[in-house]
Structure 1
Amino acid sequence: MADLNLQGAQVLLPDGLRQGDLSLAGGLIADAPTGRAVPLNGYLVLPGIVDVHGDGFERHLAPRRGAMKQMSEGLVAVEAELAANGITTAVLAQFVSWEGGLRGLEFGSQVFDAIRDTAPTLVTDLRAQLRFETHLLDLYENLPQRAADWAVDYVVFNDHLPHKRLAEGRKPPRMVGQALKAGRNPEDHFALMQQLHAGRDAVPEALDALCRKLEERRVRMGSHDDSSADQRARWHRRGVHVAEFPETQEAAEAAQSAGDAVVLGAPNVVRGGSHNGNVSAVDLIAMGLCDALASDYHYPSPRRAALMLSQSGVLDLTQSWRLVSEGPAAVLGLQDRGTLAPGKRADLVILDAMSHRVAATLVAGRFSYLAGDIAERFFPA
């Protein structure tokens, strides 16, 4: 990695946007000019985006059933998309769920093994998150060791069983299609859902024990789609200190009051609301109830959401960009990135000042993406 002195850009420093220089040395932000000068007038230099939760990688690993035989190649394609969207650290959220197929244990194990083995060969910092369905009681005993073997240090708990309909003996909508997609007989799929629903009373105590074991192993834990203060409080007591995509203001307020982190979906901001009728992310952000924005299912959204929040006056650029850089870095316990302060990793994204398109992305001072006219600035003829 070369030492560089980026000159003339608008640079988002911890205290705000400033016209000036930014120096990189040895993969870190330097506190004094060093290295080759690179003129970047007409560009914005911002901290690299830290994506705390995203599953947009799925289409690269399994574009069609059975089409992807080499998951490492799929992860290379994932990195290209991440880098083109200014993401320098990405948490890839993979299910282990009763839903089966691409969310089943077998496929999930392949994904986690591939991330563990391939990530060290890439420029972008790729990390794995296990999204675990809480009613899979038969997997509890071995889950902590499986997570260790997969090099997973972040587990988020989900419950996607349609309990109300199952209690009424009714099949959920779209169940047949979901079953066939997972390669299951629809009746067998429904029977499995009923079986898991029937065991619901054993879940809370089992979760208590599982969370204790994961906490002992220093695994970060999160809950998904909290709908009430009581639900969030139960997770907090278990040591689950990240609230992903709370569905209500009440749940978000409970998380913040307890000192837990609130992660919201950047697509919710870009869309102007939740796609399934939950509380608006913009409203929660305006109330100060957000620590980080995540890509969720769409990698362009963190950049777009931060810029939209700034342009609409909900936050200034320093505050809005913090939600996609410093904020998520703190959620992940990564103190070495998230701001362009001296001594931090040289993780940064360079945007065209007019179009706000990504022109270049650097991770620890190494290019993960470089396109268009800016390439001539770095490598003049």
Structure 2
Amino acid sequence: MGSLLITNGKIVTPNTIVEGSLAIENGRIAFIGEVPAYFQADHTIDAEGMHVTPGMIETHCDAIEKEMEPRPNTFFPLDMAMKEMERKLAGNGITTIYHSISLSDGSGIRGDEQSIKLMNNIDEHRRSSPSMVRHRIHLRYEVTNRRALPTIQAFIDEKKMDLLSFMDHSPGQGQFKSMDSFHHFTKAFYNITEEEAQRMTEEVLKLKQKVDWDELKQVAQEAYAKGISLASHDDDTVEKIDYMLKDFPVNISEFPITMEAAKHAKDQGLFVSVGAPNIVRGFSHSGNMRAIDAIIAGNANMICSDYHPSALFPAVIEVHRQGIPLPEAMKMVSTYPAESLGIASDRGSIEVGKQADVLLIDLNDTYPAVRQTIVNGNIVYQSQLSMMG
């Protein structure tokens, strides 16, 4: 694995910026700021003019679905999708990803059969194949999909997942306050006819009536006992948050719909995650809470890319531009995700002894960019600028 020395950098630690060098040995951070003369590096990087930050930890990203199925019912091999995905992740500074796989009541890549196959393949890939970034699995379970419960139970027993979120996308609450909003989204997302969308809407409403919440509580508690982190999703009321806290041992609230819900979740000690696309675009595509407003108000402390990995780093920069110090902005995509997922002892911040997942970022360019990505002490991505004559 060897040793690596990064010199002349502005090193973003959890609470401040240290100017100097960062030494990496055997995949872990050995020295910060001052490096003893006896340290011998196999390779040296001059980071003059750049910041050195923790690698970003992506807690919720379903982009692998689009890599596999870029058009409805047009599938590509997982090996190809994973390799292409890795290049994009490394280039965007994401060093650990929790692939969000949906067990929903939909079709295509989100049908049960395809989702199960995808989860098993990712699990096999991360255990047996060399990779540019760290792969984890975030299973998104739609509560109306009762037929998938045996699958979830098996994945819990085999610990094939690292994060389990409970979603309720039924119309009339959460993300879809009206029947029309659910109907239009379903029609567009699944590329189906008006009549098919209407049938799906009616079917979901019927399935919602059959949800056995006591059964789901038991599943959640078994997952928690296995060390699997838990999240609620699209929280829209104080009452829903209190219910999930009481009966489901969740510690993450993903994409709260309203500022009131976000504030309550944060006040109750939950990690509150908002979407990078919402921050970069300045609004929610569903007409819900503006993510940047929640962050500025102190009601959100995690950012995920949701469906667009390229938005994660620009979202951090936008948060910084809004007056949040860079160390705190970076913690929203590194330290806080690591803490919420129980991996903070190993990664999520630049501290001596932690795994060397770090980035060299350039804030001087017109468009701030990730210039180098280092995972476990190895350079997995490097960008070089050149002038074309």
Q: Flag whether TM exceeds 0.5 (same fold).
A: yes
Residue equivalent to 2:79: 72
**Partner AA of 1:124 in structure 2:** V
**Partner AA of 2:272 in structure 1:** V
Cα deviation for residue 163 of structure 1 reads 4.5
- Say whether 1:305 aligns with 2:312: no
Rounded to whole Å, the distance in 2 between the matches of 1:18 and 1:363 is 21
2:93 to 86, 95, 118: 86
Percent identical residues: 27
Summarize the alignment of residues 203-218 of structure 1 with structure 2, pairs less than 5 Å apart: 203-218=212-227
For 1:172, what is the secondary structure of its paired residue? helix
Report how many residues are paired.
Answer: 370
Rounded to whole Å, the distance in 2 between the matches of 1:174 and 1:342 is 47
CA RMSD across the alignment: 2.7
For 1:340, what is the secondary structure of its paired residue? coil
String of CA shifts for 1:250-270, please: whole Å, max 9, x gaps: 212222222221111122211
Rounded to whole Å, the distance in 2 between the matches of 1:259 and 1:169 is 34
For 2:10, what is the secondary structure of its paired residue? strand
Residue equivalent to 2:203: 192
2:49 to 42, 48, 60: 42
- Say whether 1:115 aligns with 2:125: no
Could you tell me which runs of 5 or more consecutive residues in structure 2 were left unpaired when the two chains were aligned. Answer: none
Summarize the alignment of residues 1-381 of structure 1 with structure 2, pairs less than 5 Å apart: 1-31=1-31, 32-33=35-36, 34=39, 35=41, 36-65=43-72, 67-120=74-127, 121=129, 122-149=131-158, 151-163=160-172, 172-173=183-184, 175=186, 181=192, 189=200, 192-199=203-210, 202-237=211-246, 238-313=248-323, 315-335=324-344, 336-355=346-365, 356-372=368-384
Q: Is the 8 A contact 1:51 1:294 kept in 2?
A: yes
Residue equivalent to 1:378: none
Q: 1:357 to 1:167 in 2, by over 3 A?
A: closer
Rounded to whole Å, the distance in 2 between the matches of 1:169 and 1:308 is 33
Cα deviation for residue 312 of structure 1 reads 2.7
Runs of 4+ displaced beyond 6 Å: 164-171
Q: 1:4 to 1:216 in 2, by over 3 A?
A: closer
Q: Is the 8 A contact 2:6 2:22 kept in 1?
A: yes
Rounded to whole Å, the distance in 2 between the matches of 1:239 and 1:283 is 27
Residue equivalent to 1:379: none
String of CA shifts for 1:305-358, please: whole Å, max 9, x gaps: 111121231x11111111111111111111211111111111011122422211
TM-score (norm 1): 0.89
**Partner AA of 1:365 in structure 2:** G
Could you tell me which runs of 5 or more consecutive residues in structure 1 were left unpaired when the two chains were aligned. Answer: 375-381
**Partner AA of 1:21 in structure 2:** S
Tell which deviates more after alignment, 215-224 or 172-181. Answer: 172-181
Rounded to whole Å, the distance in 2 between the matches of 1:166 and 1:23 is 52
Rounded to whole Å, the distance in 2 between the matches of 1:353 and 1:251 is 34
Q: Is the 8 A contact 1:82 1:88 kept in 2?
A: yes
Q: Is the 8 A contact 1:56 1:299 kept in 2?
A: yes
Rounded to whole Å, the distance in 2 between the matches of 1:346 and 1:258 is 32
**Partner AA of 2:19 in structure 1:** Q
TM-score (norm 2): 0.87
**Partner AA of 1:226 in structure 2:** D
Cα deviation for residue 146 of structure 1 reads 3.0
String of CA shifts for 1:74-131, please: whole Å, max 9, x gaps: 1111111000000001111111111122111111011101211112421301111111
Rounded to whole Å, the distance in 2 between the matches of 1:289 and 1:112 is 32
Rounded to whole Å, the distance in 2 between the matches of 1:255 and 1:290 is 9
For 2:166, what is the secondary structure of its paired residue? strand
